[in-house]
Every structure is written in structure tokens, then in C-alpha cells.
Amino acid sequence: MRPMRTAKLLLGLAALGLAPSAPSGQGGAADAPTSETLVKQGDTVIGMGPMTFTLNWVAVDDDKRWFAQIGTDLNPDDINRDGCILSNGFVTLREGAPLSAPAGAVLDDWSSVSLNDLGDLGMVIQVKPLTGAGFTAVYWNLTPVAKKDDKVDAATNSVPPGPLNPPTPTAPNDWDTFSVAKLNAKNQIFVIGEIVQSLTTRNKEKSLVRYQLDDAGHITGTTVLATEGMTIPAGLLLRGQNCILTNEHVLGINNRGDFITIVGQDNIQWVVINAQTAVAKTLDVSPIPGKTWNNFNQGRVAINDRGDWVFSGTLQPTGADDYLVVKNGQKFVQSNDFFPAISPLAMTKGSSAPIYIANTGDVFWHGRIGTSDSFMRNKDAIVVSNQTIVDNRLVTSVLGGENGFAISPNGRFWIGNVQLQSIGTAALFVDYGLVLELPGCRGNQGKLSHASGAARVGMTLQLAMDKAQAPGALTSIFFSRQGIVSANGCGVNIRPYGEVFLAPPLIGSFPLPPWNGTSPSLMTINIPNNISLVDSTLFAQGVFVSPGHPTEGVRLTNGLRIEIGAP
């Protein structure tokens, strides 16, 4: 758990003039946070030797635990024993590690790695058995979930057969290969791979399967979400080479069990959520007037825990502006857009890097803008090649590959893969702080939101209260050290007022200007430039009071979780 320094934070804020702002004050955009180097080429990894140029995968969770799959100089003559996964700089898993099953087998290599917010790993690995040929398998940490020749559903063998490749009695629904494994905090692991439907012809069907695991990684349930020849709930018959794509980031999942992916029927492709709702289709209209979708062959997708989604694709007519990123059905960015702070030249087309959407709604992506490659947060640059300086070194390259960067689910932390001048490969880390809305389950009618600024030491943060029951309503924001939020995101229902998100004791309340009926009431917080405040956590909730209102004298807002980040 993060250290709680909330009392010190509140006292520090009060001492420096914590006060409501004038209603018209809007505040400015926060300065970019500082990037720091987590691990770089040449660093000594305890027990493994110096890190080489290899940095294959990075990840970070909401508790600031970061992970990286790297290569080392441990065995220069044996490339199958020189790789490892670091957790906060220490080796947590390495090539050659013994596996719990099959007996005598060891981990030979990784082809897909996923981190959930509990610190568990879902992986597609190459297994080296005690005897015989190696094979691919899906593991939860070091516990096997599925391996080559396993039945997809060992309990029922109930994979919906496709009309193209009906199963034979000798080999019904056996796994053959695995491409992607993604794990969420509900201990659900989503697997993309190929199923063998006949030992004789080796006919295969691409498939997307979800396994529910218990706390020890054992399977308690299996759901075939999509397989070639299957008609999914959205009414689409999956067929052809692109029926299910096998890239790492054509599948996005969240901690509620939702997923977004790209499926196809012959030459027509769809972007679908939960295999039930199509949000885009080849040849259909796009958010750009006059342009339709061309294809999603290089598309990337993501979905957050609030159900917000983002994806990329290619438009037609083709041209310099035919690459588009869509957020919740609307244009987010498009090739030929301009970002003057980065380059006077226009944005070009996308890359194989992922796209993520945090629970805050912030979108993280990679773009080539003019002659620079950039990791981006919304429309702001995180790192720009040949412009950004980190630890007195120029970032010479931003690596926009399949796993070039990652974010924590809430969006506070970012980790990315770059090249540093005179150093080589490095993993960079950025702390944005956090202002996360807590919507609850019943939807309080009042609105408390992050208006501007950043929740970082030395910065100014502005909160806004809106949607009171009547103009002239008195407004106040209350703060607490602890929140009351259940596992499913609900507060405590206090009838008839709504959900409460603050746990007693309250540690402060601050009045704002009365709500004027048209624009939000604003509060500005000047966060002290004190490094000891980093990781402090506050919960906030607004209250509107309108004594003369005939039916609603008190109205509650949603809650906020505020975490103070580094400079």
C-alpha cells in the first residue's frame, strides 16, 4: 500500500493558502512531469550481470510496481538463459526457471507477457521439457493454464465447432499454438491462439478463449469468446485469414472482464466490444466526414474499467490523412494533425505501438510527428526523440514497437522504452499524479471534477463543482484520508441524498462560491513543493445545499481520489 501522509498534506496546503478560487479562474496547463530512468543498458542486474540492449516488454501497476523483460550478459554463449523479468529492479523470473508442471520442465523464453494490478503475470512461454521437443504454453505466474495439445475446455470439451473445420473424434479442439495472453485483476486470462480440429489434416481455427482462474491459478471456468466459423453474439460469422488477428494489442481487456478486439469475415472487419457490440466496420462511415473505414489490419484497441474505449484504423480514400484514432466513437487524433509544440510538421501514420485509455479517460499513444517519434498523453508529449533530455542524456530514439510503453490502469504511471545518447536502451518512468472520479453505482446528480492543473508537488490543481439543484446553491468540498468504495465501485447509499464516498473522520471542508446556474464553482489548490508529500492520498466529495429548494435541500456529488505525484 502507498504511504498515507494526508494529514501533513492538508496542513501544508492550508498553511500555503488553500482557498476557493474566483468563479472565473480557469488555471493553466500543468508543466510536464520529470522523466526518470528505471533501468538502462549496462546496469548490473543482481545475479544476471549487465543489461544488454534488449528490452522486450515493460509494465507498471497502480501501486507503482514496474516490470521489464530484459536481456543480460549472464550467458553470452547461450541466448536461452540470459533473459529475465525484473520487478522494481530485481529479478522475479528468469529463463531456465523450473516450472511447477510438467515435471522437470523449465521456462525457455517468453512470447507474450501481461501484468495485472495484483502483481501477477499472464504469459505465453516456450517450455523446455526434461525430454523431448519444446512447446508453447500459457502460464499464470509459474502455474500452467493451457499448453499445446491440451483440450481447450478440458472439463466439457465444448468449443463451438466451425463449419470450415469440424472436429474429428481423435482430435477435437486441441490447442496448437498461442499468440497472446492478457490477465486482469479478476484473475481472468484471455488467450488468442490456434485450435487443431484434425490430427490428419492439421486444420486450425484461430480462437479467443477466456479462462477464469482461482487464487492459485487453477481453471474454474472456460468461455470460448470467438473462434473461426463461429457466429458471435454481434451476429457476425467469423471466417477467413483475418477472422481473429494475433497481434499483441488487437485485444484490450479491463478489470471488469470486458474486452475489445478486431474480428473479420473474409475481407470485412469489425471492431467489437464483448463480441456483442460493433463500434466500427470496414466500408462503413467513420467520424471523419467523407471518409469510410478501409481496414483495421494494423489497428490497436483498448478499453478501461469505466467502459471507455479507443481504437485505430485506416480510412479511405487513402492519403496523408487516412490514419485515425477514435475515442468513444469520436475523432481523437488523425494523421495530418499538427502539434506545434513538438514539430512544425504534421503527424504521419501510426505504428505497431499500443494505444491505452486510462480510467481517468486519458489516452496514451505513440505517434510520428514531423521528423520526431513521440510518446504522447492526450495531445501532450511525454518523450520526444532528439528533443527530450533525461538524466542529462538526449533521447535519441523513441521505440514504438508492440510493447514500447505501458501505463498503470488508473493512468498515474507511465513506463516506456527509449534509446539514450551514449547509453543505449533504457526504460523511462513518469508520475502524473492522479485525480480519479469515483462515479459510484447510483449516479449522484452533483458533479465534482478535475478542472485543470496536476496533482503533483509544486503544482496547482483546480477542482470544479457543477450541476447543483438550483442557482445560488451553497457549495463545499469535503476531504478525508480514506474513501468508502466497494470492490464494484459503489459508495455507501445514504437515502435520500445518494452515495457517500468519504470515510470518517473528515479532515477538512472548504466553501466555494455559490453555484451560478451556468458555470462550475472552482477551487484552486497550491500543492507545496515538498517531496515528502509524494504518494499522499486524499478523497474528496462535494455537497450542494439549497435551503429553499422545495424537494432537494442537499445534493451530493461523485467522489474523487487524489494521489500526489512526484515533480
439/558 same-domain check: yes
Residue at 311 is within a domain = no
- Residue 35 contacts by C-beta under 8 Å, 6 or more apart in sequence? 382, 383, 388, 390, 428, 429, 430
- The predicted structure's pLDDT at residue 371: 86
20/144 same-domain check: no
Distance (Å, rounded) from C-alpha 120 to C-alpha 142? Answer: 10
100/223 same-domain check: yes
- The predicted structure's pLDDT at residue 370: 87
Number of domains making up the chain:
2
552/467 same-domain check: yes
- Residue 385 contacts by C-beta under 8 Å, 6 or more apart in sequence? 372, 373, 374, 395, 396, 397, 398, 418
- The predicted structure's pLDDT at residue 508: 87
134/219 same-domain check: yes
Q: Residue 196, Cβ neighbours under 10 Å: how many?
A: 22
116/222 same-domain check: yes
Residue at 61 is within a domain = no
Residue at 558 is within a domain = yes
210/103 same-domain check: yes
pTM of the model: 0.92
Domain enclosing residue 445, as ranges: 6-31+434-563
Residue at 443 is within a domain = yes
Which residue shows C-alpha cell 479511405? 316
> What are phi and psi for residue 356, nearest 5 degrees?
-130, 150
Residue at 295 is within a domain = no
C-beta of residue 62 within 8 angstroms of C-beta of residue 117: yes
- CATH code of residue 508: 2.60.40
C-beta of residue 70 within 8 angstroms of C-beta of residue 46: no
- The predicted structure's pLDDT at residue 79: 58
- The predicted structure's pLDDT at residue 172: 54
- The predicted structure's pLDDT at residue 19: 41
Distance (Å, rounded) from C-alpha 22 to C-alpha 17? Answer: 14
- The predicted structure's pLDDT at residue 200: 46
Sign of CA dihedral 65, 68, 69, 73: negative
- Please list the pLDDT of the chain residue by residue as tens digits (567 residues): 343 444 445 545 554 444 444 333 333 344 778 899 999 999 999 989 999 988 999 999 999 999 999 999 876 665 567 899 999 999 999 999 999 888 999 999 999 999 999 999 999 999 999 988 999 999 999 999 999 988 888 665 445 544 444 544 444 578 999 999 999 999 999 999 998 865 545 578 899 999 999 999 999 999 999 998 889 999 999 998 889 999 999 999 999 999 999 999 998 999 999 999 999 999 999 999 999 999 999 899 999 999 999 999 999 999 999 999 999 999 999 999 999 988 999 999 888 899 999 999 999 999 999 889 999 999 999 999 999 999 999 999 998 888 999 999 999 999 999 999 999 999 999 999 999 999 999 889 999 999 999 999 999 999 999 999 999 999 999 999 999 988 888 999 988 889 999 999 998 889 999 999 999 999 999 999 999 999 999 999 999 999 989 889 999 999 999 999 999
C-beta of residue 250 within 8 angstroms of C-beta of residue 213: no
Residue at 100 is within a domain = yes
100/200 same-domain check: yes
Residue at 264 is within a domain = no
Bridge pairing between strands 447-453 and 434-438: unpaired
DSSP state of 439: -
Which residue shows C-alpha cell 462503413? 284
